[in-house]
Chains A and B, each alone.
Chain A
Amino acid sequence: AQTVTQSQPEMSVQEAETVTLSCTYDTSENNYYLFWYKQPPSRQMILVIRQEAYKQQNATENRFSVNFQKAAKSFSLKISDSQLGDTAMYFCAFMINNAGNMLTFGGGTRLMVKP
């Protein structure tokens, strides 16, 4: 079975600063995907970034980037130039590459961006 751990229940950052959210996972699989999702207060869960485990290059999406360390089973999310709209719950998730596309979620990190 796979497990995903987010060790930071809550974090805060000043607007325009950079923040890194931690995620570690445990699996015996070699072919998988990792995701970061964002869930703003009372709003829809949306995908922030996706990483394929067989790719060594870290995924980036505008101000969002990941540090994927496969050997260490670590998948942290870096948010640069934080904006007030980044305030949300962030969930790290793991998916084995099979037909089911089942996600295993971490417990989430609540991020507050302060003006």
Chain B
Amino acid sequence: EADIYQTPRYLVIGTGKKITLECSQTMGHDKMYWYQQDPGMELHLIHYSYGVNSTEKGDLSSESTVSRIRTEHFPLTLESARPSHTSQYLCASSSNPGETQYFGPGTRLLVL
């Protein structure tokens, strides 16, 4: 398995709370990605980063924000969680051109 970690694995939180989903990888990969996936459905790219201080929005519009201050760390933040944010969030990383993306275990978020 790839060395990419996500915490928490499960999170139940009330509307309006600020949350940060953590993603870390120990492989030294420069590229990192965040996907949103509803159960049993396809993945939608919401953010990506090509390196430190580089962040871009993905294909699916998201109210979340990301930062990339360190190579190994790519946290995702929701300033004010809403029930519509309920989903699974997957983090991935990659390195050389054509190299596969390695996925973390995901965070299942439930906003009440």
Given the interface contacts A44-B105, A45-B103, does A97 sit within 8 Å of B97 by beta carbon? yes
Whether the pair A46, B98 counts as a contact (CB closer than 8 A) is no
Residues in A with CB closer than 8 Å to B106 are: 44-45
Contact (A44, B104) CB under 8 Å given A91-B43, A110-B40: yes
Q: Is B19 an interface residue (CB 8 A)?
A: no
With known contacts A44-B1, A44-B103, A46-B103, A98–B97 Cβ distance under 8 A: yes
Q: Is B101 in the interface zone, CB < 8 Å from A?
A: yes
Instruction: Please indicate the chain B residues that have their CB under 8 angstroms from the CB of A99 in the complex.
Output: 50, 97
Q: Could you say which residues of chain B place their CB within 8 Å of the CB of A44? A: 1, 103-106
B-contact 0/1 string along A86-115, CB 8 Å cutoff: 000101000101111111011110100000
**Shortest CB distance B66–A (Å):** 16
Does A35 sit within 8 A of B, measured CB to CB? yes
CB of A50 closer than 8 Å to a CB of B: yes
Residues of B within 8 A of A101 (CB): 31, 94-95, 97-99, 101
Contact B42 A91 (CB under 8 A): yes
In this complex, the interface size class of chain B, counting residues with CB under 8 Å from chain A, is 20 to 34
Which A residues are CB-close (under 8 A) to B1? 44, 46
For A, the interface residue count at a CB cutoff of 8 angstroms equals 25
Within 8 A of A (CB), among B79-112: 90, 92, 94-95, 97-106
| Contact between A102 and B48, CB atoms less than 8 A apart | yes
Do the beta carbons of A105 and B50 come within 8 Å of each other? no
The 8 closest A-B CB pairs, nearest first, are: A45-B103, A101-B94, A107-B42, A44-B105, A105-B43, A47-B100, A33-B98, A105-B42
Q: A33-B98, A91-B42, A101-B99 are in contact. List 8 more A-B contacts (CB 8 A).
A: A43-B105, A44-B1, A45-B106, A47-B102, A100-B31, A101-B95, A101-B101, A107-B41
B positions within 8 Å CB-CB of A: 1, 31, 40-43, 45, 48, 50, 90, 92, 94-95, 97-106
Contact surface of A with B, Cβ cutoff 8 Å: 33, 35, 37, 43-47, 50, 52, 89, 91, 95, 97-103, 105-108, 110
